[in-house]
Amino acid sequence: MWVIPAVDLKGGKAVRLYEGDPGRETVYGDPVAAALRWQEEGARWLHLVDLDRALGQGDNREALGRIAAALRIPFQVGGGIRSLEALREVLALGAGRGVVGTVAVKDPSLLARMLAEAGPERLAVALDARGLEVVVSGWQEATPLSALDLLRDWVAMGVRTVIYTDVRRDGTLKGLDLEVVARVREAWPHQLIAGGGIAGPEDLKALEALGVEGALVGKALYEGRVRLRDWVQGVS
């Protein structure tokens, strides 16, 4: 299983939000330095999120461009990608994948066009939820939709990579809700990346035991609870 560091950008800086709340953030400084740190520690992919764009409060295009220019490893970009033009923009930066969330929930026809243009290998879908209750628009808007129903729809559409984040736990270091992750794993037959509350190596081992292909880790890396280099070397 791959450990994929998350670098969330807000106001040009690397941050982590507590339960997705823009008013409760921890700032970790220069996002380029953060990205390069994880690259040097052996990350095989990075997950970059433009929080300002997701929240409709500007963007971090300049910082994303600097990160893209500095990296040697593949990366994916999400946050506010709600048009073909926005998807083209992040792919033009050199992103291996664009990540869409709100579009996949609210506009299936646009998701289908994105899949047709980029291909399923260059487009991932973010399933952001409080447990299994789906949220959109930078995690600020609840929906009545079932995560499991959406997963079935996305399989039929040809999506091949889903990134599940439990918003209730993201940035909290409270550990995963493994029962919910297991239900997502059971419903999704293709590549699954999961995160939200990972607190240490035990959570990573639990995800690996569930057959999850990738673990999205943010605060636990920044706070030293997960040592990426050790995990990559198989000694965590």
CA distance 101 to 124: 9
Say what the pLDDT of residue 235 is: 43
Residue 196 has pLDDT above 50, yes or no: yes
Q: Is the pLDDT of residue 230 over 90?
A: no
Query: What are the CA-CA distances from residue 71 to residues 12, 40, 151 (Å)?
Result: 17, 10, 32
**Tally of domains in the chain:** 1
Rounded Cα distance, 59 and 55, in Å: 9
Q: What is the mean pLDDT of the chain?
A: 92
Domain that residue 34 falls in: 2-232
Of residues 50, 52, 59, 128, which has the active-site annotation? 128
pLDDT bracket for residue 16 (50, 70, 90): confident
Instruction: Report the C-alpha gap between 207 and 182 in whole angstroms.
Output: 9
Catalytic, 203? Answer no
* Amino acid letter, 155: V
For residue 154, the model assigns a pLDDT of 98
Provide the Cα torsion 207, 212, 213, 218; round to 10°. Answer: -50
pLDDT at 138 over 90: no
Which of the residues 8, 50, 52, 166 is marked catalytic?
Answer: 8
Region 61-90: mean pLDDT is 96
The whole-number average pLDDT for the span 107-133 is: 96
Q: 13: which DSSP letter?
A: E
Active-site residue flag, 8: yes
Average the pLDDT over 219-231 and give the result. 91
pTM score over 0.85: yes
Residue 182: which CATH number?
A: 3.20.20.70
Q: What mean pLDDT is predicted for residues 158-183?
A: 94
Report the share of the chain in percent with pLDDT over 70.
97
Contact between 229 and 41 under an 8 Å Cβ cutoff? The reply is: yes
Average pLDDT over residues 119-136: 95
Query: Per-residue DSSP letters for 178-236?
Result: HHHHHHHHHH--SEEEEESS--SHHHHHHHHHHT-SEEEESHHHHTTSS-HHHHHTT--
